[in-house]
Structure 1
Amino acid sequence: MRNALDGLTVIDFTQIGAGPSCTMLLADMGARVIKVESPAGDIGRTLGPGWVGEDAALYHGFNRNKLGMALDFKKPEGLDIARRLIATADIVVESMRPGVMQRAGLAHAQLEAQHPSLIYCSISAYGQQGPYSQRAGVDGVLQADSGLMSLIGTPGGEPCKVQAPIVDVTTGYLACIGILAKLQQRSRDGRGGHLDVSLLNSALALQQSSLTSYFADGEPPVPSGSAAPYSAPNQAFETKDGWLMVAAYSAERWASLCSVLDLRHLEKDPRFATSPLRVANRAAMTHELTVAFMRRSADEWIAPLQSADILCAKVARYADIAAHPQVAANAMLPAVDVPGFGTLRMPGFPINSASANTAGFTPAPACGQDSALLLRELGLKDDEIEELIQSGAVRSPAETVTGAEA
């Protein structure tokens, strides 16, 4: 998988989370991804705490395996370089507000005639068309506006969000899927095309089961903490020293759970005879099971529960993940060497992970890190590159112009 897209070039006009997660996946699969930033850099570089040198860890987590170019689109020379880069590309991914790329002359409709095989993916908050298309939005705003936030938290509590940027990452993965589908289509007819991928649509897709349930019976969902709204028991229970997630909602596993907890009388309790009844009487069920679970530690419960084929896991903290034996077996936390910082571990490539993550990754580029190299590839001479840098149209570390290539 790490060389599946060898030979493809991607120009990446994205920042923060959704777009960069898409282009990072393409880079992880072997595409040559050129990340184009403004001279000020990707906003994601500033979103700490969690710092890797002067840049936020968030930036590093979404931008490995890319080359870095920094251009000022407000200068004609910068725009010209952007057009020349696009002319070398198979794929363009952009996450500007709808209309920005068109005003720059870089929208798909403006490029299609000259580059008919170009696959062009636009990522935005609400989509390219419609009454909200000009609204900006980020992960948390779309968790709210999509209804996702109404599912999260505890009854009567304040609104909560998934603290990992789940809408951003899902949008990036869906954009990548769309691009891969377009590549397959292009292999048949030679034509590219435009993809419109939005955070709103991605957030709605995350709610496939809950939205479908709402349209089936008209009942709006309510926050239920760790508990699944459609089955019980399927939630976290407090133990003597921590929390344990347990899924035992089938008839067989419910009977086994009652046996393991020495609560066999609950198996015959009419309030708990089926999963829908247990959902309806969840508070009473939770009380009975919690009293039993509190007798032992989470670790002490794991073995008897697993022996009874009951699905369970401790509610892990990140320190647990760092030492998790299966995470290690999957090689899902590879180390990346970051100049000036040292070794940084991060989630790796998630498909065929054990083999895919042993090939190693290059760190996220410094702002403009490869500008000189990429300009030379476009045919520019060192004096022309230096002129672009002095004009502010391009940002590049001085040593990449006057010294060895990046």
Structure 2
Amino acid sequence: MTQPKPMHLCGFLIAGPVVHSHAIWRNPAHETHFLSLAHYTHIAQLLERGCFDFLFFADRLAIADRYGDSAETGLRRGDQDATRMDPLPVLGAMAAVTRHIGLGATRSTTYDAPYNIAREFATLDHISGGRAAWNVVTSMNDGEALNFGSVPHMGHDERYDRADEFMEVAFKLWDSWEPDALILDRAAGIYADPAKVHYVNHAGRWFQSRGPLNIPRSPQGRPVIIQAGSSGRGKAFAARWSDVIFALQPNMERMRAFTADVRAALAAAGRPPDASKVLMAVMPFIGRTRAEAEEKRDLHDSLVDPQAGLSTLAAHANADFSGLPMDAKVGEIAASGSQGNLNALRSITPDGSMTIAEAGRVYARGVMCPRLVGTAEDVAEELSAIVTSGAADGFVVSPAFLPDTFEDFVGQVVPLLQARGHLRRSYAGGSLRDHLAPAGGAA
């Protein structure tokens, strides 16, 4: 009998009022306390009860002000960048109230230094007992560049060239302490073996770093690396460095094509085809009946503002298309930001008929996240079909409302996935890397 394929699960978050859904902060059922620590620690404990592999926070380093060359629309309507708190302190608090779930944060290789990043994630890995993950981004628009005095924003491929060297330096720093360098011989007074702590002496095009890191080797050695590059250059970068690839594809056909491209890129990088887990974003709406689930979806959609979606889209594309008429086609947007997101948006209507007005609604509803609408059985069946077909290794569950979506998913869908043999019933290993290993699936 064929064993069910293990399914990996991640909870997607932003430390602010909006995730992919632009309606979260408008939840009519209750306030969403996105500035409160208790909000996030509750979510971490909830997802751990559901045996999720990890959660991670997306992040950006600027408010959105590309649409209309102004922050007016994004701030007034509450777009994806209206507020984003720094996720690293939040993860530290989450580590204190959980024992197993992996904890990930976004950090940019364009507006930081390898030594800072290496220290941050080595620290998180130690205090969490080996559960740290880094979502690597190269940043996408001029707003971030202006906040760091790096004007103009570097070109797409150049950002990835810099990111490659950034990763080389970070990996050298994490390896600068050998696993047994820390001695802690209290009687003899020996703290560490200096012969097992090494300078890195990196001198490259973008970075110089002497090292060593001033933190002993962490439980995982280095954090789990998450990447979401979906352009050709982005996929090559992800194939070289990542342990997890996060993808946002609007339908099964695009999921299959994306995953096939990733497998080919991993082979080209000399890595096994399963070296990086491909997780697809989904947004579930779960009801006792399909009609109830549809009502939840429709209520959600009634609360989204297309103008907020357009503000977020402009930030992602790094393009001000506010001068185009609302019936202009999405193909007329000339982007220098996220190429993959814009290509996926265009693919929703292969004949190129999607207008800018329609794109605003799509983006506001969920930035192209496929919506799974139905009973818990319907949702579990669809997730099972995607994984069984090989179109993905698992899912990044993106909430329509918080913590409502996660409560429905953990309480109703997770038991069905466990019964089908796709999902662990308890955590078998101590680290996030253990969760992602083949044995970390069904148990």
TM-score, with normalisation over the residues of structure 1? 0.27
User: Which structure: larger Rg?
Assistant: 1
TM-score, with normalisation over the residues of structure 2? 0.25
